Amino acid sequence: MNPVADALQAPLSQRAPRVVAGGVTLSSRLSVYLACTVLALICNFMLGKDVEWDTVSYHLYSGFSALHDRFGQDYFGAGPPGYLNPYVYAPFYAMVSAGLPALAVSSVLAIVHSTVLWLTFELALVVCPLHELRARLGFASLAVAQAFANPILISQLGSSFADITTTVPVLSAWLLLALAVRSPRVAWVVCAGLLAGAATALKLTNAVHAVAGFAVLAMLPRSWPEKLRHAVGYGLALAFGFAIVAAPWSYCLERMFHNPFFPLLNGIFHSPEFTSEPLRHYRFIPGTLAEALWRPFAMIDPVPMVHTEENSPDIRYAVLAVLVVTWSALWLRRRLPRGSAARKAERFDAGARVLAALGCALALDWVSWLYVSGNSRYFLPMSCVAAVVMVALLYRLCAARPRLRSGIVATVLLIQAAQLAMGSEYRWTSLPWGGPWFRISMPAQLATEPDLYLTIGVQSNSFIAPYLARGSGLVNFSGGYALGPTDPNGVRIEQLIRRYAPHLRVLITGARLYEPADHQEPLRSHVDDVLARFGLRVDAADCARIVVQGLPPELEIRVTGSHPELPPPDTTYLVSCRLVPDDTDRSAQLAEERVADLVLDRLEDACPALFQPRRMLTEHINGKWQRLYMNTDLTAWISRGQLKFRDSVRGDDIVNLGRVSDWTGSPPRLACARRDDHYLARVLASQGP
């Protein structure tokens, strides 16, 4: 008999007083938990305050909108991401709005995030093939160390990201499923479904992990009809958990946009306020099967844009891939008749059954994740499962060679530690601790007079919403997703403009609006060009500057004479100017816009794989007619009679696709391709008669 299985199945009153589930003493378990939490707090403190682009653009705003109804006064206040389920960001906003020190806010989040390591420890105990108490503790601790040696996890400790926060319920669900495989109980399966459903409602990228959970249930030690009943119970609980958490926000979205998941799934619901074209962010999705197979090894290289934007080298997946291939070869060998005795022994090994369940589900999850996003921020729960599976496979493969096993474990940890120390980037913009998250110097008129703010920029700056006068509204009409005056978006914006007029202002990053002679952005003329589509322009006599401390300075050099003048550290400026009606004759610009629309439409039709989603709004920005393509991160534009495009995220060179006059006549043929995660296009030579 297995003493660990006996301990798990025996009534609590019959167990040894110092041993709890998993065959580990309570004091040992609490010591591991405490060590994990202290480690998370230390890392969070050493890395500094995490001020990510997402935090400023929509995280704080989402928490604000979760606790305040913004549907009546904002419209795309934080761009499309501002309409994702906001409840997971509410605690972050509540702590920031309460004025807590930034270190306190981040430390609370780091404590919550450290439970991911607790759950990894518990999952490892379920899979552990060892029986002796100290050996089990060492095994689980190694799994925790491998899970922690993840640059993505470290970078998100104490941050406002929902990826690591929702990892807690996802990993809890998989722990319960693993326990159900070891000792089937309907309650564990149902609770797992509820947790996975709730996590998916809070962040839809968790759907792949929830679906992969069905693969775990396929390994239940029950007949197939009983497995099916457990799967149905898991599915119903999954749907119920999702519905309970998603329903309040989905009701608001349905009432506003007739799409309960807006802006997602709009190809199904066809809300006129957003594109119905398929949305799929290709930034980290492998372009070929060979790239997909190579991905675990590509992740070793300390370069950006492999599986996340920063340098995040990770050797663990390559090691796991090698172990899986080795284990598969040995398994095939054991399938020979002479291995029947070994197969019979394996059949009664509960730990092996759980390991097989987790391994199969992890493989399904990996394939689905690569197909959907390939972004390691969305794979955090499975990275912890992968750590457990890797250590468990290593222990089983080297069961008779403990020295070899210890050497491999030590080598992997040392290599990954070196990668973490020398090759990883943890914070996009790390700032010193001190004071609250934001210190905002708001001009009196903006703090007391409710206005409608039309914001410009891919960075929506929606974090400012809680600090504006009560009743103020935000519309991010130009930037990541441009809103036009003639479509349903324009109707809603015009309604807000009429409601707030004459209390209308523009909001943009910068110390002030500059004239061309200043050689500095943002130019007043460019801002007026963007506002012109709503018949507005800037009143330069009524501008105010908002000073925000707690954010990194803008990446620009302010020139005074010949000496560069930088803003103070951790300071950002926002400028807001009154808007007045603009009666300028725009007929010439409208004619240019029609030509730009024609040319860019033809470009999209000539190369649909690159320029998607199609038929985005054409904006006149900085003297260029341009469109942004969310799926592929490309920007195409017309400037000085030339059609060009570029992938600015990867910093690729500008590609010139010829003269506009060529595209308005008989458009040229293009050769388009994606190669090594770069987008290529060239005009094919015309063929003579």
pLDDT band for position 6 (cuts 50, 70, 90): very low
pLDDT band for position 115 (cuts 50, 70, 90): very high
**Burial of residue 97, with CB atoms counted within 10 A of its CB: 0-12 exposed, 13-18 middle, 19 or more buried:** middle
Q: Which residue has the tokens 């080598």?
A: 411
Predicted pLDDT of residue 156: 95
Contact 178, 123 (CB under 8 A): yes
- The model's pLDDT over 406-446, given as tens digits with 9 standing for 90+, comes to 899 899 999 999 999 998 998 877 788 988 998 999 999 99
Report which of 316, 298, 20 is spatially closest to residue 148, judged by C-alpha positions: 316
Q: Answer yes or no: is pLDDT of 189 > 80.
A: yes
Average pLDDT over residues 473-481: 93
Predicted pLDDT of residue 64: 97
- Percent of the chain exceeding pLDDT 70 equals 92
Predicted pLDDT of residue 689: 43
Q: Answer yes or no: is pLDDT of 136 > 60.
A: yes
Least confident of 10-19, 274-283, 385-394: 10-19
Least confident of 465-469, 541-545, 584-588: 584-588
The 8-class DSSP code of residue 556 comes to: -
Residue ranges covered by each domain of the chain: 3-47+99-176+244-259+300-422, 439-584, 588-683
pLDDT band for position 560 (cuts 50, 70, 90): very low
Q: Answer yes or no: is pLDDT of 3 > 60.
A: no
- Percent of the chain exceeding pLDDT 90 equals 73
Predicted pLDDT of residue 675: 85
Least confident of 1-10, 114-123, 358-367, 669-678: 1-10
Q: Name, of 166-170, 508-512, 549-553, the range with top average pLDDT.
A: 166-170
3-state secondary structure 638-675: EECCEEEEEECCCCCCCEEEEEHHHHHCCCCCEEEEEE
Comparison of pLDDT for 553 and 320, the residue scoring more: 320
Contact 70, 147 (CB under 8 A): no
Q: Answer yes or no: is pLDDT of 337 > 70.
A: no
Predicted pLDDT of residue 335: 72
Report which of 426, 428, 377, 425 is spatially closest to residue 551, judged by C-alpha positions: 428
Helix (H) or strand (E) holding 681: strand 678-683
Predicted pLDDT of residue 562: 38
Q: Is the Cα dihedral 167, 169, 173, 179 positive or negative?
A: positive
- The model's pLDDT over 215-238, given as tens digits with 9 standing for 90+, comes to 999 999 999 999 999 999 999 999
Predicted pLDDT of residue 20: 54
Separation CA 533–CA 586 (nearest Å)? 9
Q: Answer yes or no: is pLDDT of 140 > 90.
A: yes
- The model's pLDDT over 644-678, given as tens digits with 9 standing for 90+, comes to 999 988 888 999 999 999 999 888 889 999 887 88
Is the bond leading into 502 cis (omega within 30 degrees of zero)?
yes
Amino acid at 513: L
Predicted pLDDT of residue 11: 44
- The model's pLDDT over 295-314, given as tens digits with 9 standing for 90+, comes to 999 999 999 999 999 999 99
Contact 140, 147 (CB under 8 A): no
Separation CA 551–CA 553 (nearest Å)? 6
Least confident of 188-192, 199-203, 566-570: 566-570
Report which of 147, 216, 234 is spatially closest to residue 175, judged by C-alpha positions: 216
Predicted pLDDT of residue 577: 97
Predicted pLDDT of residue 21: 56
| Mean pLDDT, all residues of the chain | 89
Contact 37, 114 (CB under 8 A): yes
Report which of 218, 256, 210, 268 is spatially closest to residue 236, judged by C-alpha positions: 210
Separation CA 94–CA 98 (nearest Å)? 6
- Taking the whole predicted model, whether its pTM rises above 0.85 is answered as yes
Q: Give the three-state DSSP class for 28.
A: helix
CA separation (Å) from 57 to 110, 504, 637?
21, 21, 25
Separation CA 212–CA 231 (nearest Å)? 12
Contact 683, 689 (CB under 8 A): no
- The model's pLDDT over 58-113, given as tens digits with 9 standing for 90+, comes to 999 999 999 999 999 999 999 999 999 999 999 999 999 999 999 999 999 999 99
Report which of 633, 551, 538, 612 is spatially closest to residue 580, judged by C-alpha positions: 538
Predicted pLDDT of residue 564: 43
CA separation (Å) from 284 to 91, 146, 281, 293, 540?
30, 23, 8, 14, 43
CA separation (Å) from 368 to 167, 364, 657, 684?
17, 6, 35, 36
- The model's pLDDT over 363-398, given as tens digits with 9 standing for 90+, comes to 999 999 999 999 999 999 999 999 999 999 999 898
Beta bridge partners of 473: 452
Average pLDDT over residues 175-179: 96
- The model's pLDDT over 260-276, given as tens digits with 9 standing for 90+, comes to 999 999 999 999 999 99
